[in-house]
């Protein structure tokens, strides 16, 4: 049984798990020498949108388990989909053969993606969906008899995953600059932090069209660079420029897909004529249940790979677990539930509530620079008086102590609550984060009189 009041001499069950964890698990993006000191939570189980540790402490999952959870944890319908598929088969290969679960999910996905006459190439991680898109785009031009189109244009602040190809498209940061010698060169124009980003990207497309295989963007929101946001009209203009020059458009919706921004796909905000040639999906694709990703190709791209059996036009690439049947079964049920439950409409309403809560309680705080939001993706830019004061870390640690799990990107506090989050839960998250920002600001005595402190401060 859980001991509710562990004595100081005996570590709590949660602390014991942290010790066992640190002894054998190597956590990504984490300095392991400091891991245990940064108050990690080791999850024992979950209920709805709350995570529960071994001591029974509850944390609201305000980052959707790193942006993957959509409808919540232990959703009975999704649990049932996995169990039902387990009664058939867990996994069979998609290399040269098929699986009913993968076919059914691909059919359902094909009906809703903003891609013309699509085919779905499955994998298991978002980075691999991007990696596949790069290789498909590259071979597309070889197959099309125009092998001079070998370069990619990507944006400042871009993040597309951690494999070497995806890393090459990305703009570095997060301590990944040491891998620069491994990166292949790309054409890079400024990202969404620059209001003129679209004009500059379009100029580069005009100038370099003859050598460009594809333009790669995160439509609407550059997530990992701190939730930088784009104007949908600028996306539409970029799409037009790609089409005018025949350059492929790759949209990485690993983070923005499946309702996150208030549409099923963020590309939809740019209007009905914005049609990516390749669409990368991951994260929320299974509602956060199982690893699955997909590279969705338009008919234009797919048909260029038609050719004789064993011939050189074939796409020689594939992953062992791509299109895993359990993952596809839960992904199909998830897509159905998004429609059955009216999840997109709910996201619009709760995002509006979140927007006003942020305006009332967070935006005016002395420690806050800027608040950016699209749907249920939020970046709160903290403005520490001096570099190295680790405000992002400290604010998040205090929020976790208040029972709200958040994780910073540098000094940006990211909020990515599950899509089914209620207004009351939004208030709980905002209350914890606002109080934590005030506490950290007070600790560092930010009483700069030039900074107006709004009434939202308490």
Q: Could you tell me the CA-to-CA distances from 156 to 181, 190, 191 in Å, in that order?
A: 18, 4, 4
Coil, strand, or helix at residue 40?
coil
Coil, strand, or helix at residue 289?
coil
Is residue 140 within a helix (H) or strand (E), and if so which, with residue range? helix 126-143
Q: Could you tell me the CA-to-CA distances from 124 to 111, 119, 121, 181, 251 in Å, in that order?
A: 21, 17, 10, 27, 18
Output the CA torsion 248→138→111→329 (10° steps).
Answer: -150
Using CB under 6 A, which of 125, 234, 277, 411 touches ligand PLP?
125
> How many chain residues touch ligand PLP (CB under 6 A)?
15
Distance of closest approach, residue 284 Cβ to ligand PLP, in angstroms? 10
Using CB under 6 A, which of 54, 155, 254, 266 touches ligand PLP?
254
425 binds ligand PLP (CB under 6 A): no
Task: Select from 107-115, 250-258, 305-313, 370-378 the region that touches ligand PLP (CB under 6 A).
Answer: 250-258
Distance of closest approach, residue 163 Cβ to ligand PLP, in angstroms? 7
Q: From the centroid of its chain, how far is CA 118?
A: 22
Encoded one letter per residue, x for contact with ligand PLP by CB under 6 A and - for no contact, window 222-241 reads -xx-----------------
Q: By C-beta, is 109 or 279 nearer to ligand PLP? A: 279
Q: By C-beta, is 132 or 436 nearer to ligand PLP? A: 132
257 binds ligand PLP (CB under 6 A): no
Q: By C-beta, is 127 or 337 nearer to ligand PLP? A: 127
126 binds ligand PLP (CB under 6 A): yes
Pairing state of beta strands 248-252 and 50-53? unpaired
218 binds ligand PLP (CB under 6 A): yes
Half-sphere exposure of 39 toward its Cβ, with a 13 Å CA cutoff? 16
Using CB under 6 A, which of 232, 259, 282, 379 touches ligand PLP?
282
252 binds ligand PLP (CB under 6 A): yes
For 74, which DSSP code? S
What is the spatial distance between Cα 285 and Cα 55, in angstroms, rounded to a whole number?
31
Encoded one letter per residue, x for contact with ligand PLP by CB under 6 A and - for no contact, window 155-194 reads ----xxx---------------------------------
Which two structure tokens, joined as six digits, stand for 237?
A: 């203009």
What is the spatial distance between Cα 269 and Cα 415, in angstroms, rounded to a whole number?
21
Distance of closest approach, residue 350 Cβ to ligand PLP, in angstroms? 21
113-140 core/surface letters (b: 16 or more CB in 10 A; e: else):
bbbeebbbbbbbbbbbbbbbbbebbbbb
Interface residue list for ligand PLP (CB under 6 A): 125-127, 130, 159-161, 218, 223-224, 252, 254-255, 282-283
């Amino acid at each position: 049984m859980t001991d509710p009041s562990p004595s100081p001499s005996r570590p709590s069950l949660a602390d014991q798990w942290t010790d066992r964890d640190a002894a054998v698990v190597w956590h990504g993006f984490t300095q392991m020498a400091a891991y245990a000191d940064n108050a990690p939570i080791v999850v024992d189980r979950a209920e709805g949108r709350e995570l529960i540790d071994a001591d029974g402490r509850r944390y609201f999952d305000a980052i959707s388990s790193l942006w993957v959870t959509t409808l919540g944890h232990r959703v009975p319908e999704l649990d049932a989909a996995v169990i039902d598929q387990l009664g058939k088969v867990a996994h069979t290969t998609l290399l040269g053969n098929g699986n009913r679960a993968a076919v059914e999910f691909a059919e359902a996905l094909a009906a809703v993606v903003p891609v013309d006459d699509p085919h779905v190439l499955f994998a298991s991680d978002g980075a691999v969906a991007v990696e596949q898109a790069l290789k498909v785009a590259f071979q597309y031009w070889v197959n099309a008899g125009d092998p001079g189109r070998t370069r990619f244009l990507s944006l400042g602040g871009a993040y597309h995953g951690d494999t070497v190809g995806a890393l090459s498209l990305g703009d570095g940061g997060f301590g990944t600059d040491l891998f620069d010698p491994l990166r292949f060169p790309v054409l890079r124009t400024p990202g969404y932090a620059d209001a003129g980003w679209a004009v500059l990207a379009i100029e580069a497309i005009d100038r370099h069209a003859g050598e460009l295989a594809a333009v790669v963007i995160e439509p609407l929101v550059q997530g990992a660079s701190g939730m930088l946001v784009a104007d949908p009209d600028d996306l539409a203009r970029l799409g037009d420029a790609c089409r005018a020059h025949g350059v492929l458009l790759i949209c990485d919706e690993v983070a923005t897909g499946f309702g996150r921004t208030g549409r099923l796909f963020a590309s939809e905000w740019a209007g009905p004529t914005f049609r990516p040639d390749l669409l990368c999906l991951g994260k929320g694709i299974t509602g956060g249940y199982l690893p699955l990703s997909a590279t969705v190709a338009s008919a234009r791209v797919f048909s260029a790979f038609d050719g004789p059996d064993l011939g050189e036009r074939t796409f020689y690439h594939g992953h062992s677990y791509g299109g895993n049947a359990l993952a596809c079964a839960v992904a199909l049920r998830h897509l159905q539930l998004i429609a059955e439950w009216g999840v997109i409409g709910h996201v619009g309403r709760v995002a509006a509530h979140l927007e006003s809560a942020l305006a009332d309680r967070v935006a005016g705080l002395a420690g806050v620079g800027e608040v950016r939001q699209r749907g249920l993706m939020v970046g709160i830019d903290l403005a520490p008086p001096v570099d190295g004061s680790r405000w992002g870390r400290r604010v998040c640690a205090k929020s976790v102590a208040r029972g709200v799990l958040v994780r910073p990107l540098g000094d940006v506090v990211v909020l990515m609550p599950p899509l089914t989050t209620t207004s009351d839960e939004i208030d709980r998250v905002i209350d914890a984060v606002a109080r934590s920002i005030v506490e950290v600001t007070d600790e560092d005595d930010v009483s700069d009189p030039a900074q107006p402190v709004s009434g939202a401060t308490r």
